[in-house]
Amino acid sequence: MAGIVNYVKESFEELRTNVTWTPWAEAQRLTIVVAVFSIIFSLAIWGVDTVFAKVLGFVYDLVLGNV
């Protein structure tokens, strides 16, 4: 158990002294960039999915003959 406690203490010490953190303003800017690209990418996937659904519906109608 002492090994785990020592590991956690050393981890926090390393985070406090050795890690370079991104400035808050840059983190906010990058978060907005990621959010915008996520929305754009999700809309693109939705569009492709919609087109494939319509194409497959058309093909099924041709094959099955408007049942």
Work out the pLDDT band at 67, boundaries 50, 70, 90: low
Work out the pLDDT band at 66, boundaries 50, 70, 90: low
Full residue range of the structural domain in which residue 62 is found = 23-67
In a domain, 49, yes or no: yes
- The rounded distance, in Å, linking the Cα atoms of 36 and 11 is 34
Number of domains within the chain: 1
In a domain, 12, yes or no: no
In a domain, 13, yes or no: no
Terminal-residue alpha carbon distance, the chain:
69
Q: What is the pLDDT of residues 26-37, one digit of tens each?
A: 999 999 999 999
In a domain, 40, yes or no: yes
pLDDT of 13 over the 70 cut: yes
- The rounded distance, in Å, linking the Cα atoms of 1 and 4 is 5
In a domain, 15, yes or no: no
- The rounded distance, in Å, linking the Cα atoms of 48 and 52 is 6
- Average pLDDT over the chain, rounded to an integer: 92
In a domain, 7, yes or no: no
In a domain, 8, yes or no: no
